Structure formats: C-alpha cells, structure tokens
C-alpha cells in the first residue's frame, strides 16, 4: 500500500500491507515499516481506500487561493465588528 495524503510526512512511500480493519473506531491499515515495526494509519490516507468524490472532482485543485480566503476573512471580521457596533 502507498500513503497518498499530501500532508502526511510519508506521502508517496510504499509499504507492505499486513492487515486492514477497525482499530480505535476507525478503518485503519497495519503496515510493515522499514524498521520492522507494525504501525497503523487511517485507510483513507492510503491507496487502499478509493478517493472520495470531492478529491476526484477537485483533482488536486482548490476553488480559492489561501491569500483570497485570508482577505475574505478580514472583510468578514470588519463586517462583524460593524454589526456589533450597530453601524451595519
């Protein structure tokens, strides 16, 4: 199995899949690490779980840039303050 979540530090690395099942209330896989240990990871972060609909449609793209979302947050904060002050 391969870890596919883009923010996971082991993203792109492949490991031997040992088992898959419910662990700690979540669907997880157990894999063999290079040092021989058997760590677990959520199956949704690997290629054993097919990508969800959002990830298939987004295909790595985002609708908004971070800088635009931060600018929107500033505007919303100003509007919130104006509403609290009774100016809106």
Query: What percentage of the chain reaches a pLDDT higher than 90?
Result: 58
**Which strands form 16-23's sheet, in the order they lie side by side?**
16-23, 26-32, 40-42
Q: Are 1 and 14 in contact (CB under 8 A)?
A: yes
Q: How far is 45 from 18, CA to CA, in rounded Å? A: 16
Containing 27, the helix (H) or strand (E) segment is strand 26-32
Confidence of residue 87 (pLDDT cuts 50, 70, 90): low
User: 24: alpha, beta or left, given left = phi > 0 and alpha = psi -120 to 50?
Assistant: left
Instruction: Read off the tokens for 85.
Output: 């002050």
Confidence of residue 65 (pLDDT cuts 50, 70, 90): confident
Tell me which residue of 36, 43, 38, 2 sits closest to 21, measured CA to CA.
43
Average pLDDT over residues 53-62: 73
Q: Could you read off the pLDDT of 13-52 as tens digits, one per residue? A: 999 999 999 988 889 999 999 999 999 999 989 999 776 7
pLDDT of residue 88: 57
pLDDT of residue 41: 95
* Model confidence, pTM: 0.56
């Amino acid at each position: 199995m391969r870890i596919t979540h883009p923010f996971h530090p082991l993203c792109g690395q492949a490991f031997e899949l040992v088992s898959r099942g419910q662990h700690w209330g979540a669907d997880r896989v157990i894999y063999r690490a290079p040092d021989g240990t058997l760590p677990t990871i959520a199956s949704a972060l690997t290629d054993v779980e097919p990508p969800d609909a959002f990830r298939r449609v987004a295909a790595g793209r985002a609708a908004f840039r971070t800088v635009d979302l931060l600018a929107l947050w500033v505007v919303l904060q100003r509007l919130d303050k104006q509403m609290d002050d009774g100016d809106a």
